[in-house]
Chains A and B, each alone.
Chain A
Amino acid sequence: DAGVTQSPTHLIKTRGQHVTLRCSPISGHKSVSWYQQVLGQGPQFIFQYYEKEERGRGNFPDRFSARQFPNYSSELNVNALLLGDSALYLCASSFTSGSTDTQYFGPGTRLTVL
């Protein structure tokens, strides 16, 4: 079975633009979470979705939004990009949204904002 897949792998944008990142969970997994990992730091939680509903939101501005589709894939949208949005964006899937459920991470999308 394929693991969590993310696209694109790398992306370069300029300040003020918007970006859409995509994630396909492991087959059978109904929960998707998004994380931002700035170089040299641990991941920061952005969103969690389960069964197409938002279950949790981290401390990120409204420029960040996400959604989950009926096939459980997910998109993360970031508007009005800032230089500080440059980071590795990780998607993780799990079978449920339970706190003890193992999350499986994708390889990430490396976003560079110039």
Chain B
Amino acid sequence: KNQVEQSPQSLIILEGKNCTLQCNYTVSPFSNLRWYKQDTGRGPVSLTIMTFSENTKSNGRYTATLDADTKQSSLHITASQLSDSASYICVVRGGSYIPTFGRGTSLIVHP
């Protein structure tokens, strides 16, 4: 069964600090992995997409890594801001049209 597990479930950090969110998946075959940011009451917004051959991809203060051998990905947020408070969702696509979503990590950034 295709699964995407994210950790931690929730995280509280102080403004300006860095943090790393984890995503482990069992989706096979693998096509791509996306990280989304979902603000409360809004739809998810894509941050990065990574395919099998990509190890690292950055989008401003967001850097995603992918290890296709161990089926792990991480999202690193640098110099966090209050606006980073949101849920971060890892989504993996395999050979079908059906994407598998993780439950998300809820990040709260305190001033």
Residues of A within 8 A of B (CB): 4, 35, 40-45, 48, 55-56, 58, 90, 92, 97, 99-100, 102-108
Q: Among B41, B89, B99, B101, which residue has the most Cβ atoms of chain A within 10 A?
A: B99
Alpha-carbon separation in the docked complex, A40 to B42 (Å): 14
Count of chain B residues with Cβ under 8 Å from any Cβ of A? 22
Q: Other than A40-B103, A99-B97, give 11 A-B pairs with Cβ distance below 8 A.
A: A4-B43, A41-B103, A42-B101, A45-B99, A58-B98, A92-B43, A99-B31, A99-B99, A102-B49, A106-B43, A107-B42
Contacts of A92 in B (CB 8 A): 43
Chain B positions 64 through 78: 1 when the CB is less than 8 Å from some CB of chain A, otherwise 0: 000000000000000
Flag B40-68 by CB within 8 Å of A: 1 or 0 each: 01111110010100000000000000000
Cβ-defined contact, B43 with A105, below 8 A? yes
Interface of A is mostly: loop
Contact status B49-A100, CB under 8 Å: yes
Max chain A C-beta neighbours (<10 A), residue from B43, B51, B98, B103? B43
Given contacts A43-B101, A56-B96, contact A103 B89 (CB under 8 A): no
Closest Cβ neighbor of A41 among chain B residues = B103
